[in-house]
Amino acid sequence: MQVIIDGLGKRFNREWIFRNLTLELKAGNSYTFVGPNGSGKSTLLQVISGVMPLTEGKITYQLSNKIIDEDDWYRQIVLAAPYLELIEEFSLVELLNFHAGFKPFKAGIANQEILQRLELDASKSKAIKYFSSGMKQRLKLALAFYSDVPVVMLDEPTSNLDAKWSAWYREEVQRLAPSQLLLLCSNVPAEYDFCDKVINVGDYKPAQ
């Protein structure tokens, strides 16, 4: 998988958040977008994922030299972010089944394995709306880590996680397959210090 970003720009109203951003993101590598609060990290991730429209430039997804239609990008991606909600009415098992219906888990990873890794076996029938914020975050990360998709996107991955689960994050994120592309948004070095490339989104903010 390769994501080619060419002259990308995003503007809200009259304010350019970033402009002239050109990058090639390649599977087997990990990239982190850093920058001060409000610099545009989450906006950039959402634009690259296709959930937010770009203002100018071009993004191309290429898998085995084949260009992927923009309508199909979502099939290639799992995005875990604080602003994306889980389906609160589902129980944990229902949510895992629902998710796997669209994006199957990696070979050898069944629901039971995920429940054990998350230490949430006892909560498997509990509705997501009754989960603590840390439990929800663990679940979002698990869906990202264990889905069989080429692109994994994580925004503020350890938000709401305690020390034990932050350590779990570090282990799992570094275990992603060489065929996967990892994109992160963070300002916390412990979340991304293993990454191959760190990109400061603030460098792409034009003078207004």
Q: Which residues bind ligand ATP (CB under 6 A)?
A: 12, 17, 35, 37-43
Among the residues of 39-194, which ranges form H helices?
41-49, 73-76, 92-102, 111-117, 133-146, 163-173, 189-192
Q: At what angle do helices 92-102 and 133-146 cross, to 10 degrees?
A: 30
Nearer to ligand ATP, 34 or 95 (CB): 34
What is the closest distance, in whole angstroms, from the C-beta atom of residue 13 to ligand ATP in the complex? 6
Nearer to ligand ATP, 18 or 105 (CB): 18
Nearer to ligand ATP, 39 or 180 (CB): 39
What is the closest distance, in whole angstroms, from the C-beta atom of residue 186 to ligand ATP in the complex? 9
Which residues are CB-neighbours of 142 under 8 A, at least 6 positions away?
A: 114, 117, 118
What is the closest distance, in whole angstroms, from the C-beta atom of residue 70 to ligand ATP in the complex? 20
Is residue 2 within 8 A of residue 167, CB to CB? The reply is: no
Q: Which residues of 122-143 are buried (b: 16+ CB within 10 A; e: fewer)?
A: ebbeeebeebeeebbbbbbbbb
What is the closest distance, in whole angstroms, from the C-beta atom of residue 15 to ligand ATP in the complex? 7
> 18 — phi, psi (to 5°)?
-150, 160
Nearer to ligand ATP, 51 or 109 (CB): 51
What is the closest distance, in whole angstroms, from the C-beta atom of residue 208 to ligand ATP in the complex? 12
Nearer to ligand ATP, 41 or 99 (CB): 41
